[in-house]
Structure 1
Amino acid sequence: MEARRFGAARVRVPVIGQGTWNIDRGDRAEAVRALRAGIDAGMTHIDTAEMYGEAEAIVAEAVRDCREEVFLVSKVVPSNATRRGVVRACEASLRRLNTDRLDCYLLHWPGSHPLAETIGGFEDLRRAGKILSWGVSNFDVDDLERALAVAGPDRIACNQVLYHLGERAIEHAVLPWCADHGVALVGYSPFGSGDFPEPSSPGGRVLDGIARSHGTTPYAVALAFLTRLATTFTIPKTGRPARAVENAGAGALHLGAAEIALIDAHFPRGPRPRMLPML
């Protein structure tokens, strides 16, 4: 599994991690086994959030005896993102996760509370050792510029954004901004939230052909494409152990220039949208 520096966190993190949105909707024991299978296969970056229902508790069970191996991320909702609210929300997440610290803590999306308040709370948590780094999620360039103006350089670890083959809008401006400022870009919903290309479609056939040449799956090819650049990471979610192992295999898959160009041609990034897409 390839690992890269995770922005201002200053640690190396696997390029393929594990998301947990809606992981509590299926069989709980199977979800725990899937997370453990992913960890064992090298996907030690685990992302969750306070608004993900029972996901934090499921993660706690999965990492119970391997916490030191895991880069653990959670998120605060904007309504809780006052300076004191951030601290309270983080402490509640720590209890649900049964851990004494988070490796990274994110603001889930831009909200109405001043960023200075939110970042002040993040810095309070960092000084107390309850988080080791912090970042943002669903931030467009204007939002990132405001966060940078408040925090200064080398503070924002990552920006987590919607990024899959059918939604490449972040490549226009957000991804370059993050690369220029040393901010890791973490793509969520890399399989399009149920909208992965059909095998019979032209794009699906392209993915299948590339997958066959590498002895892997179209899903792994998609993950490899989304992490082809030096500052990008992705966090697919699955509740199935076998799929978790398949996803992890993408961390060692390197696509050739011709393969990247072929995927790019069948899944163009399209025009820059007026607003940053998000789920």
Structure 2
Amino acid sequence: MVFKELGNTGERIPVLGLGTWGIGGFEMPDHSKDRQTIGLLEEAIEMGYTHIDTAEYYAAGHTEELIGDAIQAFPREKLFIVSKVWPTHLSAKDLPRALKASLKRLKIEYIDLYLIHWYNPDVPLRETLTAMAEMKKLGFIRHIGVSNFNTSQLKDAISVSPEEIVCNQVLYNIEDREPETSLLPYCQEAGITLTAYSPLRRKVISEHIRRILEEASEEYNASIYQIMLAWLLAKERVVTIPKASSVEHLEENLQSLELLENFELKI
């Protein structure tokens, strides 16, 4: 596994995490593949996917439950668990309840990185981030961050947060490049980790990008999806959390790390 520093904490985390949106259901729980899902998660951890990303919203909490079952056989200190609090739970009263519910479902005593899932203009950022800081002081959270924040929102959050914001998780891939306009440069300058979600475009790739990917695929003897991941991970401060639905996909994604030493793709 390859590691990068989380924010300016001095702590290094796996650059390739495991996204879990859709595992165990989407907006609602789906129990039909629970046993297979837990088995796949266990295999992923054994392969080195110790950075696991989830949220209370995923499958109405069931995704956290599945992760909680899967991680029981592994040393807690070897895992880096990320979860996110939904916009309706950002008040000083609701956030601690949401956090403790996530901890119960995950069957752990602390979350390594706790993120505001989406900005909510109806709840002051200072209130939310103060609540998160209190939970950090109590040992329920190790680090705090945000998700889906634009540059202005991120700067506002930093200005009122009692604790260091170490991460912003956003949509970013070789087709969806909005973060490059200002967010990524700001994170790189400020020392904030940018976690790219949905890094793989498996269904819709423009003809122009496909041609570039196929040329790079031949040059590096890799799949176009490995090229997509390497393209992201070659960037300063960027880590990513692709979802994988099979052992084959898990292995393919891991192999993208082998490209990084001499990788260069200008688009």
Same fold (TM over 0.5): yes
Question: Which of 138, 144, 150 is equivalent to 2:160?
Answer: 150
**In the alignment, what sits opposite 1:206?**
212
Give 1:190's match in structure 2, choosing from 194, 199, 212. 199
Are 1:87 and 2:93 an aligned pair? Answer: no
Q: Do the aligned residues in 2 keep the contact of 1:9 with 1:132 (CA within 8 Å)?
A: no
SS in 1 for 2:69: helix
> Across the two proteins, how many residue pairs are aligned to each other?
257
Q: Deviations over 1:183-222 (max 9, x none)?
A: 1000001113x53438xx4533432342344343211110
* CA positional deviation for 1:231: 0.2
Match of 1:139 in 2: 149
**Is the 8 Å Cα contact of residues 37 and 245 (structure 1) preserved in structure 2?**
no
Runs of 4+ with deviation above 4 angstroms: none
Task: Flag structure 1 segments of 5+ consecutive residues without an equivalent.
Answer: 265-279
Match of 1:277 in 2: none
1:17-53 CA-to-partner distances (Å, cap 9, x unmatched) read 1111111137333332332333223221110000001
Please give the root-mean-square deviation of Cα atoms over the aligned residues, in Å. 1.9
Q: Could you tell me whether the CA contact under 8 Å between 2:6 and 2:13 is conserved in 1? A: yes
How many angstroms apart in 1 are the aligned matches of 2:156 and 2:66? 34
1:128 to 124, 128, 138: 138
Correspondence 1:172-251 to 2 at 5 A: 172-192=181-201, 194-197=202-205, 201-251=207-257
1:44 lines up with 2:18 in the alignment? no
Q: Could you tell me how far apart the structure 1 residues matched to 2:137 and 2:39 are?
A: 34
Relative contact order, higher structure (CA 8 A, sep 6+): 1
Change (3 A) 1:211 1:64: farther
TM-score (norm 1): 0.86
Aligned counterpart, 1:62: 70
- Separation in 2, partners of 1:146, 1:205: 40
- Structure 2 portions without partners, runs of 5+: 26-31
Asked if 1:170 is matched to 2:176, the reply is no
Superposition map of 1:15-54 within 5 A: 15-25=15-25, 27-53=33-59, 54=62
> What is the alpha-carbon distance in structure 1 between the residues aligned to residue 126 and residue 221 of structure 2?
49
TM-score, structure 2 normalization: 0.89
Cα distance in 2 for partners of 1:34, 1:252 equals: 23
8 Å Cα contact 2:16/2:240 also seen in 1: yes
Contact kept? 1:44, 1:71, Cα under 8 Å: yes
Q: Give the corresponding residue for 2:28.
A: none
User: Does the CA-based 8 Å contact 1:17-1:46 persist in structure 2?
Assistant: yes
